[in-house]
Amino acid sequence: MQFFVDTADLEKIKEINRWFPLDGVTTNPTLVADSGAEHHSLIRSICKEVKGPVSAEVLATSSEEMIKEAHVLAGLHPQVVVKLPLTKEGLVATACLSEENISTNLTLCFSALQALSAAKAGATFVSVFVGRLDDIGVDGMEMVSQVIHIFSQYQVKTKVLVASVRHLSHVLAASEIGADIVTIPPALFSKMVEHPLTDKGLAQFLKSAGRSINK
Ligand code: E4P
């Protein structure tokens, strides 16, 4: 399974990439706005930092405008994956971009049939928003299992990306059911590798050796 970070905060990306080599990055318009950075230069900087796909989202809502914006985003760096909403217009744009070999990530996917539609359009990735599904009382990870099962029956090449991850059990479940990718908010990355018994055990060992922890 591949691990992406879900943020547009370049400093956090650098910090995590130091101890957990990232396979890619996902951003969205909210995360970019929160970062305060200029979108295009930010995407270029992220691509320099992480060796893997970097999703940059279009803001257009018509297929024609999405395609124009996609060309600009894809031209920023070879690692850019154009993120498009899973709408009819997004599907039209995806099919055109797929013909041009431009990588796409169909975002805001909330049903297995939407995921299948993304695959039919030739999407490179489809982002299933598990946290937002859980919020409305639908089991997000169950939806991901369904998508993986459907895709496996038809040798679909579109990769299943688990997004809107809220807690470590989402990450664990994603790995257990064989999701291709999980995109994780920065705070959860630390929680994934830290454990109080590791800290306690290390402190004990160092104390025995007459040493202290160098941070
Ligand atoms: C994925 O690509 C999205 O950026 C993200 O996972 C959305 O998560 P949220 O539901 O926490 O906003």
Which residues line the pocket of ligand 1, CB cutoff 6 A?
A: 6, 26, 28, 107, 127, 129, 131-132, 163-164, 183
Ligand 1 mean position, distance from CA 66 (Å): 20
94: Cα within 13 Å, side-chain hemisphere: 27
Which parts of the chain register pLDDT below 70? Answer: 215
Closest ligand 1 atom to residue 107 Cα is 2
* DSSP H or E run through 200: helix 196-208
**SS3 of residue 165 by DSSP:** coil
* E strand spans, the chain: 2-6, 24-26, 54-57, 80-85, 104-109, 125-129, 159-163, 181-184
Question: What tens digit of pLDDT does each residue of 51-78 get?
Answer: 999 999 999 999 999 999 999 999 999 9
Q: Whose CA is nearest to atom 1 of ligand 1?
A: 163
Q: What is the pLDDT of residue 212?
A: 77
Residue having the nearest C-alpha atom to atom 10 of ligand 1: 164
Judge if pTM exceeds 0.85.
yes
CA-based torsion, 43, 47, 49, 51: positive or negative: positive
- Alpha-carbon dihedral of residues 103, 108, 112, 114, nearest 10 degrees? -70
Which is the closest atom of ligand 1 to the Cα of 28? Answer: 4
Give the distance (Å) from ligand 1 centre to CA of residue 164: 4
For the chain, the domains span 2-189
Fold category of 2-189 in CATH: TIM Barrel (3.20.20)
* 150 Cα: distance to centroid of ligand 1 (angstroms): 23
| Residues contacting 182, CB < 8 A, separation 6+ | 1, 2, 3, 4, 161, 162, 165, 170, 171, 174, 175
> CB neighbours of 70 closer than 8 A, spacing ≥ 6?
58, 82, 84, 93, 97, 102, 104
pLDDT per residue as tens digits for the range 18-53: 999 999 999 999 999 999 999 999 999 999 999 999
pLDDT of residue 208: 96
| CA 201 – ligand 1 centroid, Å | 35
Measured distance CA(65)–CA(37) in Å, rounded: 23
